[in-house]
Amino acid sequence: MNSIISILQKKVKAGYNIGMNSPDYTPFWEETLRQIKQNLTENGRANDFVLWFNINYVGSQEGKLIVSVASNYIRNEMKNRGYLAMIQETFLEISGLEMDLEVTIRDRNAEKSRSTVSFSEPAQNIPLKQTIQQNIQTIPQQREFESKSSITNTLSQNNHSEPIFKDESIPVKKTHPELSEQYSFENFISSDENAYVYNAALAVSKNPGTAYNPLLIYGGVGLGKTHLMKAIGYSIFQSTNYKNVIYISAENFTNEFTQSIRDRSEKKFKDKYRNADVLLIDDIHFFEDKDKTQEELFHTFNALYDKQKQMVFTCDRPVSELKQITERLKSRFTRGVSADIHMPKYEVRSAIIQHKLEQQKKKLSAEIIDLIAKNIQSNVRDLEACLNSIILYSDITGGNLSLSQARDIISKMFAQDTTQITAEIIQRAVADYFNVSFSDIKGKKRHKNIAFARHIAVYLIHELTELSSTEIGHEFSGRDHTTIMHSCEVITKQLQIDESLNDTLSIIKRDIREYKRNS
Ligand code: ADP
Ligand code: MG
């Protein structure tokens, strides 16, 4: 070990002597990442390394290592998961130097000219936050990842299960009954919020059966789970010689299985699914209570897993929250990587709208796009539905739809929805989320947790209902409207400094919709 260190130290000195102002710590850096990779792999966490250590050495400056990652989101997650501290500690062990880490966000354009330490994960090089224009420009770049050279440069070690990739020079697209270009990676706008799930999906499409198996994508309705799942299937189907790429909803899987029992054709059913090259099953929450189908799926899973065939599942909630699903099946669903999907922020919502407009060769004014992106915060499916209505009206008016007409359409579409959300539903959902009582939320206690939950409840009531601040005050033991406005300000400020709060709000909004449905 000491001899490695002294060799590395010599290398660093050499870098220093070449005439740089600050030492070039690349040798230490490479060794640091190598050791972390080794440690995580030994602890069965190789996937964590692939997902979270796409971090490049940029340079050094007065006791500081400057490194770069692809997005703010990744920087925050690395910090929260303790990976930045892990890097510092390992670097200290190797170099004897206690260095601060300055984590910058990578500039995609400058990337090519910079010396980087790459750990063979093509998916992670995809830019995460893009305007629509940038996104269209990146399509050739994404295709580049599908080239033979990048694929052979992947994590896959397994010749047996490795698919044969087709020659890129043949541009013919194969047709598949369930998968099409409509739901492809090219048509999915990635975002900071969804960087993890997007990168995991891309990685799977490049390394079917070996990168993460199975991949489980979970999250609320209309956020793009099916889209990403189909994108994986489509990409594999187009770029490999795999013929048997199966996409099926859990409901249809169940129906087909039940029918096969009735027809006494179970063998045919088993053969079909146990010989899949890739199996994509959508909405696995449907399997709750379906004991026989669960058992069949359990055996299908084992057969495919043993043969290293890729499986992808989607679910509307974390698997741990599924009821009436056997533990052994749950443990299989989560054996690979689980990634949740979120509603993208305003900028990405407008990028999605612009992308959909381009696809349909339609135009809307910047103000109307802005209006839709600002108002539709529930999910991307609603965003699309709203956009399609507006396009329809815009066509009817010969492209002269005014801003106030657009506003009318939006409020009519969502009017029914908003009037049903009451202050009480929001208070109950927030109380549940923060694990405090409903009466505490409404009451006067000033305990830190309760006060924060109360601020959130006030903020959401202000956002989701038509109540005035005085009326909201009545819902909180008669607080006056300035106190209510103060709560809104607290959360607005907090949102500016804490990105994860947005996710929290999205989850609570989802709960609110659930409450509303059940009330
Ligand atoms: P889910 O399966 O999570 O309910 P879907 O995959 O059906 O959601 O997505 C709903 C609609 O929104 C689809 O038409 C999909 O193409 C679109 N969509 C969702 N997320 C995105 C995104 N990030 N970029 C482009 N389109 C998206
Ligand atoms: Mg779906």
Instruction: Lay out the sheet containing 245-249: strands in order across.
Output: 245-249, 278-282, 310-315, 215-218, 337-340
Relative to beta strand 215-218, strand 278-282 is: unpaired
From 142, 181, 185, 227, give the residue whose CB has the most ligand 1 atoms within 8 Å, as the site to mutate: 227
The rounded average pLDDT for each run of 10 residues, N- to C-terminus, in the chain (519 residues) is 60 52 80 89 77 84 86 80 92 86 72 30 30 26 31 32 46 87 94 92 92 92 96 96 96 96 96 97 96 97 97 94 93 95 93 94 94 92 94 89 91 64 93 94 93 96 89 94 94 87 84 75
Report the alpha-carbon distance of residue 304 to residue 274 in Å, rounded.
6
Nearest CA to ligand 1 atom 20: 224
Contact 85, 18 (CB under 8 A): no
Closest C-alpha among 230, 190, 241 to residue 312 = 230
Instruction: Please tell me the predicted confidence (pLDDT) of residue 466.
Output: 79
Report helix angle 291-306 to 250-262, nearest 10.
100
Closest C-alpha among 173, 103, 107 to residue 134 = 107
Q: Does the CB atom of residue 381 touch ligand 1 within 6 A?
A: yes
Report the alpha-carbon distance of residue 414 to residue 410 in Å, rounded.
6
> HSE-up of 448 (CA within 13 Å, CB side)?
0
Closest C-alpha among 368, 284, 377 to residue 334 = 284
Report the alpha-carbon distance of residue 491 to residue 28 in Å, rounded.
42
Q: Does the CB atom of residue 188 touch ligand 1 within 6 A?
A: yes
Ligand 1 atom closest to the Cα of residue 190 is 23
Ligand 1 atom closest to the Cα of residue 355 is 25
Q: What tens digit of pLDDT does each residue of 376-417 get? A: 988 999 999 999 999 999 998 888 899 999 999 888 777 555
Q: What tens digit of pLDDT does each residue of 53-95 get? A: 888 888 888 888 999 887 777 788 888 889 999 999 999 888 8
The pair of three-digit structure tokens given for residue 408, joined into one six-digit string: 């009318």
Ligand 1 atom closest to the Cα of residue 224 is 6
Instruction: Please tell me the predicted confidence (pLDDT) of residue 173.
Output: 85
Residue 115 Cα to ligand 2 midpoint, Å, equals 41
Q: Does the CB atom of residue 356 touch ligand 1 within 6 A?
A: no
Q: Does the CB atom of residue 178 touch ligand 1 within 6 A?
A: no
The residues near 237 (Cβ < 8 Å, ≥ 6 apart) are 174, 176, 179, 245, 278
From 376, 381, 388, 506, give the residue whose CB has the most ligand 1 atoms within 8 Å, as the site to mutate: 381
Instruction: Please tell me the predicted confidence (pLDDT) of residue 78.
Output: 86
Residue 219 Cα to ligand 1 midpoint, Å, equals 12
Contact 258, 181 (CB under 8 A): no
Q: Does the CB atom of residue 189 touch ligand 1 within 6 A?
A: yes
Instruction: Please tell me the predicted confidence (pLDDT) of residue 36.
Output: 92
From 183, 184, 190, 223, give the residue whose CB has the most ligand 1 atoms within 8 Å, as the site to mutate: 223
Closest C-alpha among 336, 47, 341 to residue 195 = 341
Q: Does the CB atom of residue 352 touch ligand 1 within 6 A?
A: yes
Beta bridge mates, 247: 280
The pair of three-digit structure tokens given for residue 326, joined into one six-digit string: 């056997």
The DSSP call for residue 167 is P
